[in-house]
Amino acid sequence: MRHTFRLSFPVLVAASVISAAAIGSFAADAGPAARPNIVLLMADQFRADCLGSDGNKAIRTPNLDGLAADGARFRCAYTSTPSCTPARSGLLTGLSPWHHGMLGMGRMAEHYERELPALLHGAGYYAIGVGKMHYYPQRNLHGFDRTILDESGRIQTADFVSDYRCWFRSLAPTLDPDATGMGWNDYRAKTYALPEELHPTRWTADVAVRFVQNYSGASPFFLKVSFARPHSPYDPPERFMKMYTDAQVPAAHLGSWASGNDVPLDPPDYNRWRGNLGPEQVRQSRRAYYGSVTFVDEQIGRILAALRQRKLLDNTLILFTADHGDMLGDHHLWRKTYAYESSVRIPMLIRWPVSMAAERGQVLAQPVELRDVLPTFLDAAGIAAPADAFDGKSLLELVRGNAAGWRSCIDLEHSRCYRGTEHWNALTDGRTKYIFFSQSGKEQLFDLQSDPGELHDLAGDAGHRELLETWRARMVRHLAERGPAFVRDGKLVSPRPDMLYGDRFPKKAGQEPSSTLLGPR
């Protein structure tokens, strides 16, 4: 049943006052204003192929495509550990999974020696985060001056209520923010049951726009805007659902190797991680997911417009990315944590200030990853860092045409997440992908150039034996630093125990990190 609640003009004014009070004056210490502002735009569970600029003819993403046209798109961008918290740990630290210590989905560390917001804050930036951070504890700032949070329904400490939910209660005390009635890992599709102005995607952009409109500090600012969508629930407002009613959304990729994921659906489980739900359910889920993507794109357009209106756009570095993708039924798989392109390949777009001379509209093929964001921002801000401080590199070097010495491939992995899965490690250069499964010893090999949907596993093909051995040897070299639990006598160890946290994960004295997952992912 649809709610008939409508926002009247006085309520909208009240909402604006509430938000302004929550945000404050944004006063900041004086700093070198000539340095660029930095804006990190982030979406949760956003597939790289859901951009018009990536070749998707069904999706509508004009604002993100505009960023790509006016900057650069990295078509081989990946997330090394494709679930929320380990991906965000790489973003926070500039490190690879083994070096920041999160090999799967668990609680983030409370503190690292070097963290992106803290480094920018320490260099004189006013740092603010808006939307989903997924930190632990949830009010942990990690160096931000302020965070204004939408943590969905996630409650990891007894007294936590997100800022979005506080705002929602003050504006619509008789309504339920979860009235659409779907779970946070639900594959179903429904139109948002409340007025569009109450949707968390709209709220996140509203807060970010008000920050841009009202910021008056002397320091440059670092603004992180992290949308909780298009992560499920797939619940766009009605106009976006209608937008894709007749759209020819791509069908699911179904690999010849994926029959093991074609499992029965009885009893019903709306939070399934695998299963053949049929082409019509895939279409409906993708139609709503596409609507959520376009809703996020529209709200990003509002943020860009606010920067333009304040005449800040030309002195702002803007980067858009995601923490991971979404399988959406590919290979009869749902959600994320898999080694396949729908899960690990993410959008990465960058637009630089006019003061930086570089060709705009570039499409770059080097393998890049979330660990590269922190060094990129330090580079833009003119902040020097020790050469060995990070595993990531500045994307601006590629934009400037300095590709010499760039990595040849990127490492990917995830510990066991769903029952029946196993820890996997993978390597890819964007053209070939090698996957090793730690318990079974199974290998997969894909030619991403001729087979971007990963339909044909070449690991058992005698004609590709030499290529398989080459990539297996690369994996041996990559994992060697982890010791005999991973590599022994020059060979990959299997079976090996599943590992959620590595030895370098920072933990409090006398405590082990908790692997308990509270609330939605």
Using DSSP bridges, classify how beta strands 221-230 and 37-44 pair: parallel, antiparallel or unpaired: parallel
Q: How many CB atoms lie within 10 A of CB 99?
A: 18
Q: Is 407 helix (H, G, I), strand (E, B) or coil?
A: coil
How would you label 203-223 residue by residue, b for 16+ Cβ within 10 Å and e otherwise? bbbbbbbbbbeebebebbbbb
Residues 6+ apart with CB under 8 A from 335: 185, 232, 273, 326, 327
- What are the helix (H) ranges across 359-463? 373-381, 395-399
Sign of CA dihedral 308, 71, 81, 449: positive
Residue the block writes with tokens 């004609």 = 463
Per the DSSP assignment, residues forming a β-bridge with 438 are none
Q: Are 387 and 97 in contact (CB under 8 A)?
A: no
Of the listed 134, 332, 414, 478, which one is catalytic?
134
Q: Are 435 and 443 in contact (CB under 8 A)?
A: yes
Using DSSP bridges, classify how beta strands 368-369 and 77-78 pair: parallel, antiparallel or unpaired: parallel
Q: 99 is written with which tokens?
A: 């070096």
Active site residue 84: yes
Q: Are 446 and 338 in contact (CB under 8 A)?
A: no
Q: How many CB atoms lie within 10 A of CB 251?
A: 12
Q: Are 15 and 358 in contact (CB under 8 A)?
A: no
Active site residue 166: no
> What is d(CA 412, CA 81) in angstroms, rounded to the nearest whole number?
6
Of the listed 50, 76, 84, 409, which one is catalytic?
84
Residue (of 330, 335, 334, 306) closest to 318 by Cα position: 306
Angle at 350 between CA 344 and CA 355, to 5 degrees: 160
Which residues carry out catalysis? Answer: 84, 134
